[in-house]
Amino acid sequence: MAARSIGSLSISFGLVSIPVKLYSATEASRAISFNLLHKTCGSRLRQQYFCVKEDVPVAREEMAKGYEFSKDQYVMFTPEELKALEEAGTHAAEITEFVPIDAIDPIYFDKAYYLSPDKGGTKPYSLLAKALRESDRCAIGRWAARGKQYIVMIRPIADGNGDALVMQQLLYAAEVRAIKDIDIPKTDVRDVELKLAQQLIEQQASDKFDPASYTDDVRSRVEAAIQKKVDGQEVTAVLEEPEGGAQVIDLMEALRASLGKKGPAKSQAEARPEARKPPKRAQAAEPAAKKTAKR
């Protein structure tokens, strides 16, 4: 089934304008959703809002939006006031700069869209995609839609027939927490530990990431259970005990075990505790016992 465009816009940089079609790159509809039902009769439930002060139901036309600026104190906004604050959609993504692709930390990535050339945009589209790929750069710009303004990153990808473009919404700096806010104790890593860890990484390394090799097992179980219910079958819930995490006592031994290596051989003295020399006190007592016997 061919993908359906969800909109159109133009990408502009300098005096160049590229008309493109917009396609959602992800499927939020893939999530399985459940409805709330009345347990006794199975009918859908209807949500109702109550006033916490008067304890009466409030109709939607009697509702207003408010911002809590202090404990239980609000400023109220009308729909017209909120509408006036929204960003006007421009149907254009204006590129402001070009930066190295690896300069954008993936933690800033948000929703992604595929772009395809619209009428008259095939040539400049292909030119931009190829120029970005060969320069290892991406375009950063602004895009206004749905009353909001977004930072966007336009980057090239290979589609099998050539170069294509993806527009990635980026989070604002204020929306991303700083790693320095997380308490991470500083510790030293020994060279031998680092070498074993690097060997373990190489042992499980792949040349490329294949997302098709990963499947959502939970979704498959839910879908199977739903089908059983639809078919009138009983679903038996089997609660599995969670497996306890491996308790790492010795980091080196854990790394060696992961690599399938054996630890260093123990000495004979370590292997046979009974073969150890007797304590000095016992050695000293032995000559004394012999002297007594001679007398």
Tens digit of pLDDT at every position of the chain (295 positions): 678 898 898 998 888 899 999 998 987 656 788 999 999 999 999 888 999 889 999 998 899 999 999 998 999 998 888 888 877 767 889 999 999 999 999 999 999 999 999 998 999 999 999 999 999 999 999 998 878 899 999 999 987 777 899 999 999 999 999 888 889 898 898 999 899 899 989 988 999 888 888 888 888 888 888 888 888 887 776 666 666 555 656 777 887 888 886 544 444 444 444 444 444 544 444 444 444 444 4
What is the per-residue pLDDT for 249? Answer: 62
Residue 144 resides in a domain? yes
pLDDT of residue 30: 67
**3-class SS at 100?**
strand
Identity of the residue numbered 210: D
Residue 278 placed within a domain? no
Instruction: Specify the CATH number for the domain of residue 138.
Output: 2.40.290.10
Closest Cα partner for 23 from 10, 1, 9, 6?
A: 6
Position 11 in a domain: yes
Q: What is the pTM of this model?
A: 0.69
Q: What is the pLDDT of residue 294?
A: 46
Query: How many separate domains does the chain show?
Result: 1
Backbone angles phi, psi at 9, to 5 degrees: -160, 180
Residue 214 CA to residue 206 CA, distance in Å, equals 14
Question: How far apart, in whole angstroms, are the C-alpha atoms of residue 23 and residue 1?
Answer: 14
pLDDT value for 273: 44
- The per-residue pLDDT for 101 is 93
> How is residue 73 written in tokens?
């104190």
Query: What is the predicted pLDDT for the residue at 290?
Result: 45
Domain of residue 14 covers 7-29+87-175
- Residue 247 is encoded by which pair of tokens? 């308790």
Q: Is residue 147 part of a domain?
A: yes
Residue 24: inside a domain, yes or no?
A: yes
Domain membership of residue 96 (yes or no) is yes
One-letter amino acid at 106 equals P
Domain assignment present for residue 98? The answer is: yes
Domain assignment present for residue 156? The answer is: yes
Which tokens hold the place of 287? 């000559």
